């Protein structure tokens, strides 16, 4: 279970690094906490599924048991919140 602010920041940084490495092909694009990942096309439906599998593997979440929607993947802050509130 994530208990400290440092652990929360670690989640966000881990997800940011994954998204940057897997989905951003242009080295000039850098994402921050509020970058609109869906609106800018950084994450699409296929990459969202890949990201979900990454989150399940790394944080032990089961998305069959968690109610999610597109809003949960808008930016790093919403993804971090999704993970932190559902981690066991």
The structural domain count of the chain equals 1
Q: What is the pTM of this model?
A: 0.88
Q: What is the CATH number of the domain that holds 55?
A: 1.10.1200.10
pLDDT digits (tens, 9 = 90+) for 28-52: 789 999 999 999 999 999 999 999 9
Give, in order, the Cα–Cα distances in Å from 14 to each of 9, 67, 80: 8, 22, 10
Tell me, rounded to whole angstroms, the distance of Cα 3 from its chain centroid. 19
Structure confidence at residue 57 as a pLDDT band (50, 70, 90): very high
| Structural domain harbouring 37 | 5-24+31-86
């Amino acid at each position: 279970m994530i208990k400290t602010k440092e652990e929360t920041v670690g989640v966000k940084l881990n997800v940011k690094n994954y998204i940057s490495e897997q989905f951003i092909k242009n080295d000039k694009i850098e994402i921050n906490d509020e970058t609109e990942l869906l609106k800018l096309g950084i994450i699409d439906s296929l990459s969202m599924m890949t990201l979900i599998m990454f989150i399940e593997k790394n944080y032990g979440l089961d998305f069959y048991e968690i109610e999610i929607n597109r809003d949960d993947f808008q930016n790093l802050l919403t993804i971090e919140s999704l993970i932190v509130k559902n981690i066991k």
